[in-house]
Amino acid sequence: MRSDQHRINHYGGALVHLAPRAQTLAEFALLVPLLILIVFLAITFAVIGEDAMAVSQLASAGARYASVNPTLSASDIAAYIKSGNLGAPTITANGAKNLTVTVTQAASFGQPVTVTISYSLSSDPLVSSMSTLFSGLGVAQALPTSLSATESVMTE
């Protein structure tokens, strides 16, 4: 038997064959859950980033819509933003249940109109399950629970 093919341990006078492949398999089995957690964390942060960008763009588009339509009421503007006509299908889906729109109308021409969008991340199953996982591990508030953006535009 060649020494580079097998490792032999002399223990109590008996020869015991140690399998290096079994050790590698055991180490891999211990690391797989950690690797899966890292992959899901990366995906979760990507989803949160995409939602944050969508909230910001929706606030900007909503403020622009409100500025060029100064005769519309705040509730009409909020309903139009929630309808999904301005984009952001990921956060306006399902009737925009987790979306809060606040519109502050301009007092007169040339004054700013302000739109604030708040989005609860509780509707996203991946983000909520990762938050539950971290809270179960004792990590308090590891991921954001909501996103918001405010945009002001001068009326035209």
Range of the domain at 96: 20-154
What would the pLDDT profile of 89-139 be if each residue is shown by its tens digit?
878 777 788 889 999 988 888 889 999 999 988 878 888 888 888 877 777
On whether residue 34 sits in a domain, the answer given is yes
Is the residue at 51 inside a domain? yes
* Interatomic CA distance for residues 133 and 129, integer angstroms: 6
Instruction: Say how far apart CA 107 and CA 26 lie, in whole Å.
Output: 69
Q: Between these two residues, 101 and 6, which has the higher pLDDT value?
A: 101
C-alpha distance from residue 2 to each of 12, 50, 101, 105, 123 (Å)? 22, 57, 74, 85, 61
Q: Kindly state whether residue 9 falls inside one of the protein's structural domains.
A: no
* CB count in 10 Å sphere of residue 91: 26
State the DSSP code for 1: -
For residues 118 and 150, the answer to whether their CB atoms sit within 8 Å is no
In a domain, 6, yes or no: no
Asked if the structure places residue 79 within a domain, the reply is yes
Q: Answer yes or no: is 8 within a domain.
A: no
pLDDT reading at 75 higher than 70: yes
Residue 36 falls inside a structural domain: yes
Number of domains comprising the chain: 1
